[in-house]
Structure 1
Amino acid sequence: MNEQRQMSNQWFYKIYGIYGAAFFLLCAGIIAASHLDFYRKIIVPAALGALALLLVFFILTIKKGVLSIFERCNELLDQAIEGRPFSADNEETELARFTGKLERFVSMKDKAFRDARLQKGQVETLLADISHQTKTPIANILLYSQLLEERSCENKELVRKLTGQSEKLQFLIRRLVEMSRLENGIIRCMPKKENVREFLLQIIGDYCDKAQEKEQELLLECPQETAAVFDGKWLREAVGNIVDNGIKYTPPRGRIRICVIGYEMFVRIDISDTGRGIREEEIPKLFGRFYRSADSASDEGLGLGLYLAREMVHAQGGYIKVSSRQGKGSCFSVYIPAFS
């Protein structure tokens, strides 16, 4: 190990010097012998053979030294990965300097990790406080609004607007808290094997009344035995956001169809509608935070639903694709890992 630690530029210079001197001496001997007829047939071939051997030993020595250096570097990296302390090198060698720099890098990385974990904890506490502290005032506003609407015969329209805005504020705070938790890695998905058909039937139950209000068909096509690996809570919200958008942007007596196709690695959930569709140039922007297209600017919404849906699906090892034709409807394809 000490021999490996002392590998440096000086070692290479020493090897170059020894083998270089031997090489030039042999070359000089060959040149001198080539002028003597008596030694030409004996000395020259022997000298050439020695020169070849010298080159072979030179290459092997260099290879051994380089491999020793790489072996030592590999040991240092293993120490860094496992968190073991570095052994002190007092020699002024290249490896000693490399060890010192690697030790400083690991120290900086550990400090950055501790700071990030501390900040994450502070963000989580702040989000919990915001969610808790705003829940009661908003609930009271909604309660008083309902009481006013029931008891007062005047200004009912204003009271309804007040109730609507309070519900929107409640929804906005909940979405912002969810978004912050996703972006800071606080939300922890726990995927497990689930039956996809039973999962989608729950979503249809969530939005069946909303679709019936617009006389829309909400259809499901899914084999009974299809299974996938996902977190039911967060995927339910992600797919629910897409279904909700389909209902919102599809005219009365339209159709929202959920179709499931199983593959070897993924299960694809297609949510298609017969709504207004999406402009081609807007498709890449759909999943941006607070993005609202010009066609939907007058509709209710915050522009967070699709962003949250993509992040929730991505956190479970899946992804979302979109295809749409303006005036012909849209299809959102959610890919989640299949159960194998």
Structure 2
Amino acid sequence: MEKKAISNGWFYRLYAVCGGCFLLLCGAAVLSCFMDFYIRLVVPAALAGMAIVLILFVFSVKKGVLAIFGECNAYLDDAIEGNLRPPKDEETELALFEVKLSRFVHLRQKAFQDANAQKAQIEALLSDISHQTKTPIANILLYSQLLREKSGENREIVERLVQQSEKLKFLIQTLVEMSRLENGMIKCVPRQENVREFCIQVIGDFYEKAQEKNLDVRLECQNEVTAFFDPRWMREAAGNILDNAIKYTPEGGRIQLTVTPYQLFVCLEVADSGMGIREEEIPRIFGRFYRGRETASAEGLGIGLYLAREMVTAQKGYIKVLSRPGEGSRFQIFLPAKGEK
């Protein structure tokens, strides 16, 4: 059966031929009922003929439909591989499908190209913002520190100037990083890493800050535990969570880092003895710039947890939070135990 013959016209012709044969056989069977001599011969033959016609009809329809689906499947495979064939110059439903699919693929390719062009423009803009603001902010910080060292008067004003300058620097860096993350410009390169060594590095980044509040920071992890992650971005993600634990734990409290290996994931839990989080606020704490009522007065921008979740998600992990007011919080980071083969 030729593919070009499979159309509405082909089906109509098949219906006409098979239907005509079926009606003739039905008529012969009915007519034989009025002729006693032929009833034993014609009726069985007519019934057998009707069965054969019905079988041939169903077989032909099935063959035609499968041929259409096979052609569509082959055309879709070519489209997926980027070898889109030109539509056939035929007046069939299959040719119409190929024309519409070809149009869809071309529109999709154009949208993909436009998205890449916009992404490149955003990346260039972010790079310009980062580069153009780096020098002025560095100069502001430098002059502020010089004023703090040399000025004997208005020290409180100078201290506020230094603090706000550092906050501005952090804010711009964070916004640039957040925009790159949201637009898929930050590429994670995960690899198999020792989790204990990673945790020691993260604790070391915040050791002095924890010592200032006399916090007891402990780590519980086996030496041989490994996970599949990008140490650079995970160090920042886990650091944001540990930084929050230090910030919201009262002086003299404790922070426990516990690593638990499972079959598919490795769980890094950061538990503190801080103020805790109300249940209704837990779904919102990962939102951009969200600050809870109890933490609104504390230093921060409300971006750390958002960035942490995005970075962990980009590495095919996830974060779970367990907390109650007055009982501290437990942030659990689940990372893939092994990379995909």
CA distance in 2, matches of 1:196, 1:339: 12
Q: 5 Å matches for 1:121-132?
A: 121-132=120-131
CA distance in 2, matches of 1:88, 1:120: 32
CA distance in 2, matches of 1:181, 1:326: 34
Contact 1:193 1:339 survives alignment (8 Å):
yes
- Are positions 1:263 and 2:266 aligned together? no
**More displaced stretch, 78-87 vs 123-132:** 78-87
Residue of structure 2 in register with 1:38 after alignment: 37
Per the TM alignment, residue 124 of structure 1 is displaced from its structure 2 partner at its CA by 0.7
Residue of structure 2 in register with 1:306 after alignment: 305
Residue of structure 1 in register with 2:107 after alignment: 108
Per the TM alignment, residue 84 of structure 1 is displaced from its structure 2 partner at its CA by 1.2
Contact 1:6 1:91 survives alignment (8 Å):
no
CA distance in 1, matches of 2:318, 2:115: 27
Q: Deviations over 1:15-50 (max 9, x none)?
A: 111111111111111101122221111111111111
Q: Tell me the C-alpha RMSD between the 2 structures.
A: 1.0
CA distance in 1, matches of 2:122, 2:6: 48
Q: Which amino acid aligns with 1:271?
A: V
CA distance in 2, matches of 1:153, 1:333: 48
Per the TM alignment, residue 87 of structure 1 is displaced from its structure 2 partner at its CA by 3.0
- Between the two proteins, the alignment pairs up a number of residues equal to 339
CA distance in 1, matches of 2:86, 2:246: 65
Residue of structure 1 in register with 2:202 after alignment: 203
Contact 1:317 1:336 survives alignment (8 Å):
yes
Per the TM alignment, residue 88 of structure 1 is displaced from its structure 2 partner at its CA by 3.5
Contact 2:196 2:223 survives alignment (8 Å):
yes
Contact 1:5 1:89 survives alignment (8 Å):
no
Residue of structure 2 in register with 1:82 after alignment: 81
Q: Which amino acid aligns with 2:179?
A: S
CA distance in 1, matches of 2:84, 2:325: 62
CA distance in 1, matches of 2:307, 2:5: 55
Which 5+ residue runs of structure 2 have no aligned equivalent? none
CA distance in 2, matches of 1:320, 1:98: 45
Q: 5 Å matches for 1:1-340?
A: 3-339=2-338
Which 5+ residue runs of structure 1 have no aligned equivalent? none
Q: Which amino acid aligns with 2:57?
A: F
| 4+ residue segments displaced more than 2 Å | none
**TM-score, normalising length: structure 2:** 0.98
Per the TM alignment, residue 5 of structure 1 is displaced from its structure 2 partner at its CA by 3.2
Contact 1:6 1:95 survives alignment (8 Å):
no
Q: Deviations over 1:141-173 (max 9, x none)?
A: 111011001111001110000000000000100
Contact 2:87 2:102 survives alignment (8 Å):
no
Q: Which amino acid aligns with 2:114?
A: D
Q: Which amino acid aligns with 1:210?
A: K
Q: Which amino acid aligns with 1:317?
A: K
Per the TM alignment, residue 258 of structure 1 is displaced from its structure 2 partner at its CA by 0.6
